[in-house]
Amino acid sequence: MSSDSDRSSTIVAATVSTLVGVLVLYVIISVILYLRKVKRLAMENQNPVEVIWRTGQTVERFLQEVERDKPVRFTSEQLNSFTGNYKSGLGSGGFGQVYGGQFPNGVQIAVKVLNRNLGRIAEQQFMAEVGTIGRTYHINLVRLYGFCHDQHMTALVYEFMENGSLDKCLFNKMQSIEWEKLHEIAIGTAKGLAYLHEECQQRIIHYDIKPENVLLDVNFSPRVADFGLAKLCDRNRTHVTISRYKGTPCYSAPEFLSGNYPITHKCDVYSFGMVLFEIVGRRRNAIVGASETLDWFPKHVWEEYEKGELAAMISACGIEEKKREKAERTCMVALWCVQDSPQGRPPMSAVVKMLEGAVEVLPPPKPFRYLDLIQMTALRSADSSDGSGFSSESRWYKETTPIMAKHDIQMATC
């Protein structure tokens, strides 16, 4: 009898121990999954405050999550692990190689390894990237996750953009996308630049806006990238001093070469206007013909606009009739952006309004007068302002009726 009782007690004890062990294991697994979920949400750009509020974390954990949003300093060993010994090359440029990889939690990344043989130039690009994009966050700016700088290497770690750069979609027939999406890309890019110029604590001038520096995510949403030439500017300063030419030929503003005007954030507006022309034409702005003649698309756009034949030119670019109104508006905005004087170009916040169709774009004056050297002196005396402030936006557009915008009326009558 006593033996049966002892056996029952042993079975009960074993059962309880097993249940306690299973319960403990369940709690451990739940905690691990919980922590992984929190980290995943943080990496997916969730608002840290909302994440903490939902998960009931402590103030200390909250501060850790906020700190994690800043660029992280990685070691060269970590980057080697993230990239699988740099086995997946994504491309190369003048400053180094770009490799694909992923964090341990599965988030994909792009690692730019800078060429240290460039010496001071590579150091300047590294400091420009970390000092500008590392301070900001916007949905239309590429995100800098972190960096590496030690005795072995100098590198920058970005979010991975699945659809590469805009130039692939514009100039590669195999990756062509519809005009409506290109128009959305133009607006998103303009919003990113407006944030840099007008919303950051210190104004950021990019200096190298071109299709190659506009990256596209899995949904073809744009991110302005490559801040290697960028510069932080005090908002109280009317212009900046530069020691050398910046940017890419065919996209750089004329004041870099002519010296007629000081360098301001409006040089980015000019470059963006050049990108708009390429979005409309789906071609490079400058093409050299067989007889060494230059086919310059922006000048062609102005000539067709001046003759009132812009619609025919847009049709020749393959844009269907129901989308031509947006394309014509985009051309007019581009012509405003590439005005000779910085003061004549609209701020990027006004560019966004005009592209979205929320306002009526006023007729732009003739651009590219700087190409006529005879007129250069007259231009300088006609407009000697520095382009530092935001003038009355009535120069570029006028507000539409608050009852119904023009494009809404067109939709309603279809």
Q: Which residues are catalytic?
A: 208
Q: What is the DSSP letter of 299?
A: H
Distances (CA, A) of 275 to 152, 160, 214: 38, 23, 10
* Angle, vertex CA 194, rays to CA 193 and CA 199, nearest 5: 120
What are residue 113's phi and psi, to 5 degrees? -95, 115
Sign of CA dihedral 245, 247, 250, 251: negative
The DSSP output letter for 373 is G
Which amino acid makes up residue 342? Answer: P
What is the 8-class DSSP label of residue 141? B
Q: Closest by alpha carbon to 124, among 255, 246, 270? A: 246
Beta-strand relationship, 72-73 and 144-149: parallel
Q: Classify the phi-psi angles of 292: left when phi > 0, otherwise alpha if psi is within -120 to 50, otherwise beta.
A: left
Alpha-carbon distances, residue 238 vs 262, 271, 388 (angstroms): 9, 19, 5
End-to-end CA distance of the chain: 94
